[in-house]
Chain A
Amino acid sequence: MVEFLQFTLSGVVFGMIYAAVALSLVLIWRGTRLLNYGQGGMAMFTTYVAIEVVYRTGSYWAGFAVALAAGIVLGAICQVTIIRPTMNKPPLNAVIVTIGLLTLLEGLAGIFFGGQYRSFPAAFSVTGLRAGGTPLGVSRFDVFVAAAVLVTTGALALTFKYTSAGLRMRAAAFNTTIARLSGIRVARVLTVGWALAGLLGALAGVLVSPSTFLYPNSMDTIFVFGFTAAVIGGLDSPFGAVIGGLLLGLALSYAGGYLHSGASLVPLVALGILVVVLMVRPGGLFSATQVRRV
């Protein structure tokens, strides 16, 4: 019973990180029907920026803030410089460009920051919390991880729902033609979408790296988990992305905890879930869309 509680809580924490990555993919997918394969690379790169700032200033929070800002800037720059020129081309062009972006960022990270594993600091203690005498399997830092993702996604949800900028983004995502005819500068809205995706990716990178170490490929697995979570949620639905992240976090935590040699099976379990979801409910759990081209 204690084990189950521990697996559940740690599943929720990792699920929140997958949710952040999933949400970043959904933000870009909704606007342009493009899966950004470079998302993990962007998150890795901004996390390196953060680690440099932390080492130089000695302040975790300075690194944290710079990472988020770098995510916004990197997302916007990528959209304007390499994605925008592909917009009137066949859809596959943009996909290839995002794969190229991933390769480029991983290469640059190796050149600038080196290929070795680096440890990334945590904001709070990583020793496990206890309720009474019972170890909960999560630390103070894990609580911060979950809270940070919840606050960010909550703020985004409120922005989308209640502000004019949010309405612009939703209108542009649902129907580009009507949005443009109504005067919405859709190209600019897409840049904002990439900036927000960059922010979420950067957040995920900073939050996950204390548990994974940081190296040029360190976000690859997290990207696959985030993608799986997004597909579970339907790729179109921000709410679905968060739920998908939580479900996947729990599933992987139970698999890692209960299965014999579970830890090494976790990526396989994620891929299995991805395949099953695509076969059984290709539209995801929360999408109104029936058919989707991938």
Chain B
Amino acid sequence: MSSDTDSATPALAVEELVAGYGGVVALNGVSISAGTSAITAVLGANGAGKTTLLRAVSGMIRPRRGRILLDGADLAGRSPEQMVRAGIAHVPEGQGVIPELTVEENLRVGMMSWPLGRSRAERTAALDEAYGRFPLLAARRRKLAASLSGGERQMLVIARALLARPRVLLLDEPSLGLAPRVMAQVMDLVVQLSREHGITIVLVEQNARGALAIADHGVVLNLGRVVAAADAATLAADVALRHHYLGF
């Protein structure tokens, strides 16, 4: 177990988190810290606990023990509705769009965590900003999200999460099932969000090579425990670790 010596203050720190489903313990004392405005890749095989970690941090499952610190405040045990208001947005794996709603309605759902007092003009401005960043979505704003391609859907899901104005963005396998070119676009976008917009990103990926290529920092999980945590270059250079846990 390598120690975390990241000098930047972590925006998100998870300490000794224990969580699971019924009798199954999927996370058994996991600690990670995600540096402010950095990309932290969470890697590991299927069943390592990556998705469970994100689900616990966003409140979708209630941790049995441990702390979830956002800028120092412990949020463990809060509901997803409260977590997103606190600044943690979670893009779950797979079908993240609501296909029965239009593109614009999907985006409006992203603003549901806003305080009621926000004006219509502010909401419209936020929508316009999203369309400015994702022109493809602007062209399809009145179309049902069901009509979008896989890459467009992933853009829509990320755009919706950004409308919640998160400080921490949890991304679960954003490149899953995308063509290589589209996958590269999504990864570029993730880098842009961290570098240009200062969003702290926790990226869960099956594609460890691609994730480490853009991440600042990496954490490797195995069977619900952290087996390695270091900066991304160090992890990528560790041949034994790669063979053992990352499959490349």
Contacts and interface: CB of A to CB of B under 8 A. Distances in A.
Interface of A: 164, 167-168, 170-171, 174-175, 177-186, 288
A182 B112 contact: yes
Contacts of B110: 182
A99 to B, nearest CB: 28
Contacts of B242: none
Nearest to A175: B98
Interface in B27-77: 58, 60
A288 B99 CA distance: 12
B81 A178 contact: no
A184 to B, nearest CB: 5
Given A181-B80, A182-B113, A185-B81, A167 B164 contact: no
Main secondary structure of the interface of A (DSSP, over half): helix
B140 interface: no
Given A168-B112, A174-B100, A182 B164 contact: yes
Interface of B: 58, 60, 79-81, 84-85, 89-90, 92, 96, 98-101, 105, 108-110, 112-114, 160, 164
B79 A177 contact: no
Contacts of B160: 182
A187 to B, nearest CB: 9
A184 B108 CA distance: 11
Among A171, A174, A177, A183, the most chain B Cβ lie within 10 Å of the Cβ of A183
Contacts of A288: 100
B93 to A, nearest CB: 11
Nearest to B88: A181
Contact of B81 (A164, A171, A175, A184): A184
26 contacts: A164-B112, A167-B105, A167-B109, A168-B112, A170-B101, A171-B98, A171-B101, A171-B112, A174-B98, A174-B99, A174-B101, A177-B60, A180-B79, A180-B81, A181-B58, A181-B89, A182-B110, A182-B112, A182-B160, A182-B164, A183-B80, A183-B84, A183-B85, A183-B114, A184-B112, A288-B100
Nearest to B163: A182
A183 B79 CA distance: 9
5 nearest A-B pairs in the assembled complex, by CB-CB distance: A183-B113, A180-B80, A183-B84, A183-B112, A171-B109
B101 A181 contact: no
Given A178-B96, A178-B98, 10 more contacts: A167-B101, A168-B112, A170-B100, A174-B98, A177-B60, A180-B81, A181-B92, A182-B113, A182-B160, A185-B81
